[in-house]
Amino acid sequence: MQPYSSYRWFAVLLLTIGSGFSSILFAGDSPPPDGKSIYNRFCIYCHGEKGEGDGPAGALSGVATGDLSNKAYMSQLSDQELHDRIAWGEEKYPYLQMPGWRNSLSDEEIHAVMKYVRTLAVDKGPLTTPSPKEREERFRKDPLERGRIYYLHYCSGCHGKSGHGDGEFAKTLPDRPAALSNPAIAATITVQSINDYLTARKQSKKVRNMPIFEDDFSDKVDEIVLYIKTLAKKEGNSKP
Ligand code: HEC
Ligand code: HEC
């Protein structure tokens, strides 16, 4: 699965280009890969120096970049589980909005960076957020949770996390993305209308700013719409 990526993963693209160098660097009988330098080259942009999720590119993805330094959370993952999340990313763990690294990094490199990620963990007290297993389960069982993740993945970069039309990427657009959380706009949104909109975009020669998505996510539109309706409800409730 290659997610819609023209802006969201631009950082990853840049980094992947850099990975050409890494294979040269790590080729032959060079010393074993150094997890810290891999982290600083490929991960720091989103996860931040200390793994707290505050890297400069994090904001663009729309999704909060997880806190890799939270010991209570990270200690729930075995080395194998952590390795697999880095290697496969959202392909196997769709509740995590990060592409896997197995195409850019060798298994040895993934292992090394996994070990380095372990060293970032600091004791922040007991876990107050859902555990990895709870998150995974909730994603599997709850259509609204899937809608939330898909919305963040495909739409929030432009339409904003709360649907106000103020996503990070919107700042670079000549047209303001619609405020989907506006109850008047939300009321017109149906699965059919979104699908029609996306189809029209694909067929139209004069596509303006709403992207032509590479991904076929027609099977996810139901859940996205479900979630947009809750954004509008919040908006409606907050009106004086
Ligand atoms: C373009 C931004 C970006 C880059 C670059 C990036 N990540 Fe991520 N990563 C994310 C996001 C977003 C998540 C999902 C966070 C969440 O849902 O809690 C994530 C999740 C993870 C997780 C799973 C945490 C959990 O909750 O189970 C691990 C481990 C991880 N990243 C490690 C890495 C490593 C190692 C690298 C470098 C090889 C890297 N990431 C590069 C954005 C990024
Ligand atoms: C790259 C930025 C971008 C992304 C990503 C994006 N949109 Fe948009 N969207 C726009 C812009 C800009 C407009 C308003 C101008 C236009 O129609 O081209 C718009 C308009 C819309 C409208 C029309 C609202 C109205 O006025 O009736 C709907 C509905 C919509 N988007 C839904 C979505 C959904 C759902 C997603 C995620 C699956 C999404 N958009 C992703 C930029 C984006």
Other beta carbons within 10 Å of 189: 17
pLDDT in tens, 68-83: 999 999 999 999 999 9
Residue closest by Cα to atom 29 of ligand 2: 194
Q: So what's the pLDDT on residue 212?
A: 60
Q: Are 95 and 139 in contact (CB under 8 A)?
A: yes
User: How crowded is the C-beta side of 2, counted as CA atoms within 13 Å?
Assistant: 7
Tell me the CA–centroid distance for residue 28 and ligand 2, in Å: 48
pLDDT of residue 75: 96
Most trustworthy range by pLDDT among 16-30, 68-82, 164-178:
68-82
Per-residue pLDDT averaged across 3-24, rounded? 44
Looking at the predicted structure, is the pLDDT value of residue 171 above 60?
A: yes
Residue among 161, 160, 77 at smallest CA distance from 118? 77
Mutation test residue for ligand 2: of 209, 210, 214, 217, the one with most atoms within 8 Å of CB: 210
Ligand 1, atom 41, residue with closest C-alpha: 43
Average pLDDT along the chain: 82
| Higher-confidence position of 158 and 139 | 139
**Residue among 19, 37, 40, 43 whose CB has most ligand 1 atoms within 8 A, to mutate:** 43
Rounded to a whole number of angstroms, the distance between the first and last alpha carbons of the chain is 44
CA distance linking residue 178 with residue 52, whole number of Å: 32
Residue 158 Cα to ligand 2 midpoint, Å, equals 8
Q: Which two tokens stand for residue 75?
A: 């200690």
Beta-carbon contacts of 9 under 8 Å, excluding residues fewer than 6 positions away, are 3, 61, 99
- Say whether pLDDT at 188 is over 80: yes
Q: Does the pLDDT of residue 126 top 80, yes or no?
A: yes
Under 8 Å between Cβ of 176 and 170: yes
- Please report the pLDDT score of residue 196 as a whole number: 82
Q: Kindly report which listed range (90-99, 176-185, 207-216, 220-229) carries the lowest average pLDDT score.
A: 207-216
User: What pLDDT does residue 20 have?
Assistant: 44
201 against 134, higher pLDDT: 134
Closest listed ligand to the CA of 60: 1
Please name the residue whose Cα sits nearest to atom 26 of ligand 1.
Answer: 66
Residue nearest (by alpha carbon) to ligand 1 atom 23: 85
- In this prediction, residue 233 has a pLDDT band, given cuts at 50, 70 and 90, of confident
Residue 175 burial by Cβ neighbours in a 10 Å radius (0-12, 13-18, 19+): exposed
Asked whether residue 219 carries a pLDDT value surpassing 80, the answer given is yes
The token pair at 146 is: 């899937």
Residue 105 has pLDDT above 60, yes or no: yes
